[in-house]
A and B are shown apart, each in its own frame.
Chain A
Amino acid sequence: MQLTNRSKQVSNKEMTLAEKMYLPAITKGLGITLKHFFLKKATKPYPDVKTYLGPVFRGHHVLKRDEQGRERCTACGLCAVACPAEAISMVAAERTKGEEALYREEKYAAVYEINMLRCIFCGLCEEACPKQAIYLRHDRFVPVFSDRDEVIYGKDKLVEKSDDRYVRTNPNVQATPTEPSLSRSVS
């Protein structure tokens, strides 16, 4: 079976004198390596240069706020149910008077935690959410942790900062309505 056109047939034929002298072949090889010496490098110096991973990359979770800056999450628990790794847990609470500017509906998540050691970044929570509250951002990774205490992300790390709103900016994203995670309009 031939997989590529680059495979070469091995042969045991007697070498000619030029081949026995090695030098022509070595010169040719030196030429090839010298050419590669000046070619463009394939490596990207990662922390300095980051590659765009596309609008569908599933990275760091974010709990969205709406246009007025109110948290969208109502602590219904559908994301926790959808989560195959059981990484999400939450405690619901009732909105009291005077908190209308903070929470969109009468019920909200007092505690919302994602265990990043369990999370497999499948994006099912994003698809399950009826309030379009949780997203996996395409522009940010979950950073490396060196301690188990850093592993569980609470609301302090998950809720979107009002001065750092997350928007998926790719017109193609809205053009594919069959994918619920992509077609859902953000904001």
Chain B
Amino acid sequence: MDLTIFIVKSIIILAVFGISLLIATYSTYVERKVAAFMQDRIGPDRAGPWGLLQPIADAGKMFFKEDFIPAQASKWLFILGPALAMLTALMSSAVIPFGDSIRFDNYDIPVQGIEINIGVLYIFGVVSLGVYGIMVGGWASNNKFSLLGAIRAASQNISYEVALGLSIIAILMMSGSLSVRAIVEQQAEAGFLGWNVFTQPLGFIIFLTCAFAECNRTPFDLPECETELVGGYHTEYSSMKLGFYLFAEYINMFVSSAFISSLYFGGYHYPFMEQISNALTNSLGAVTGHNVATAIGTAAFFGKIFFFIFFFMWVRWTVPRFRYDQLMNLGWKILIPLSVLNIIVSASGLLFNGMKYASWLIVIVATVLAIMSNSRAPKGQVSPQRS
């Protein structure tokens, strides 16, 4: 292990850490802006140009609030809760490949926190640990509403993790590896139409839905349902502890977006990557050209991440919250059977003639059934009530 490699690696790790914090910070601002724009408002625009300093003002406000711990709360667990939530949120970005590799002399250093061959499992493990932050915080508050919120979060996360895990098994069968980088490279080799979103449309929809539930985002934000639970699991929290909970949610959103982009949208791959990379290496030399190509790939990856962060917000301000029984019905009775069906169909497609697009069969059948049921439904207009 050379010292330069160590330094470059440290810089990458610090950069990933810093960027995820920065993006999470500005997600709070963008969320408010997006919400405002979708409701025909302007949103925060007082702090700095276009309100760009708003996150700093918010953080400053959070720091100067009274840090209150309820008398009946379990003090250490109360402090541990937000710390756990933050820790698990930050841990999961370690295995996401942000770019191809940085080349200097004759070293190739992947732009990634750490490359492990069980990256997908690692992310799943850390994400399921994330529920402890909520659970511990909600229980330690010694408040009925907090506890209810925490229980909701726990049961929701556990239910949706099953479908989340099942939905990507088809991808793992195609790539034959649990490494996120291997999955991205497999998509890069297959070209634009080989992106997993095109080979696994159903898996993508299931994964996306479950990702919303895992991040506790609307339409599945029942753990912090204001109308029923005051503030949910963070009712009793104030000051920066509350800030950590809210912040962890945005980091989770960033990591989920990155994970979705890597698994289904080719990660740092973009159309005509091969040709552009070759042209760059030819014109700028093997080392610089490769590094520039890596930078372009990283930029493309961040473009995808930003789109998905926007998509998370877009959905949040469009779809109303599910009722709890609807949430559980959707998880257990629809998403899990569908993902099992997806596994079976994709597996048989791969088994018989290496057909990767077998999952489309389910989508086509479902669409046809939906159209048929729609056309057969009674068209009777409901007469307006007179009273």
A residues touching B (Cβ–Cβ < 8 Å)? 1-2, 7, 9, 11, 13, 16-19, 21, 23-24, 26, 29-30, 32-34, 36-37, 39-43, 45
State A19–B373 Cα separation when bound (angstroms).
10
User: How many residues on chain B are close to A (CB under 8 Å)?
Assistant: 28
State A21–B334 Cα separation when bound (angstroms).
9
Whether B205 and A42, one on each chain, are in contact in the complex, defined by CB atoms closer than 8 angstroms, is: no
Within 8 A of A (CB), among B313-332: 314-315, 317-319
Whether B39 and A36, one on each chain, are in contact in the complex, defined by CB atoms closer than 8 angstroms, is: yes
- Given A7-B384, A16-B373, A18-B371, residue A30 in contact with residue B314 (CB < 8 A): yes
Name the distance in Å between A7's Cβ and chain B's nearest Cβ.
7
Whether B318 and A39, one on each chain, are in contact in the complex, defined by CB atoms closer than 8 angstroms, is: no
Indicate with 1 or 0, residue by residue over B175-190, a CB within 8 angstroms of chain A CB atoms.
0000000000000000
Whether A33 and B386, one on each chain, are in contact in the complex, defined by CB atoms closer than 8 angstroms, is: no
The reply on B40 being an interface residue by CB < 8 A is yes
Q: Looking at chain B's contact residues, is the secondary structure mostly helix, strand, loop, or mixed?
A: loop
A41's partner among B42, B314, B371 (CB-CB below 8 A) is B42
Name the distance in Å between B356's Cβ and chain A's nearest Cβ.
23
Whether B374 and A17, one on each chain, are in contact in the complex, defined by CB atoms closer than 8 angstroms, is: yes
Name the distance in Å between B228's Cβ and chain A's nearest Cβ.
22
Q: Which residue of B lies closest to A38 (CB)?
A: B37
Within 8 A of A (CB), among B29-77: 34, 37-42, 45
Whether A43 and B385, one on each chain, are in contact in the complex, defined by CB atoms closer than 8 angstroms, is: no
Question: Which of chain B's residues have a CB closer than 8 A to the CB of A2?
Answer: 384, 386
Question: Which of chain B's residues have a CB closer than 8 A to the CB of A33?
Answer: 38, 314, 317-318
Closest 8 CB pairs of A and B: A18-B370, A17-B373, A9-B382, A33-B318, A16-B373, A16-B377, A43-B42, A29-B318
Whether B387 and A34, one on each chain, are in contact in the complex, defined by CB atoms closer than 8 angstroms, is: no
* A-B contact list, 8 entries, CB within 8 Å: A9-B384, A16-B370, A24-B370, A26-B315, A37-B37, A40-B40, A41-B41, A45-B45
Q: Which residue of B lies closest to A17 (CB)?
A: B373
State A70–B117 Cα separation when bound (angstroms).
91
The reply on B106 being an interface residue by CB < 8 A is no
The reply on B369 being an interface residue by CB < 8 A is yes
Whether A16 and B374, one on each chain, are in contact in the complex, defined by CB atoms closer than 8 angstroms, is: yes
State A17–B367 Cα separation when bound (angstroms).
9
State A18–B371 Cα separation when bound (angstroms).
7
- Given A16-B374, A18-B370, A18-B374, residue A26 in contact with residue B37 (CB < 8 A): no
The reply on B15 being an interface residue by CB < 8 A is no
Question: Which of chain A's residues have a CB closer than 8 A to the CB of B314?
Answer: 30, 33-34
- Given A16-B374, A26-B319, residue A36 in contact with residue B384 (CB < 8 A): no
The reply on B366 being an interface residue by CB < 8 A is yes
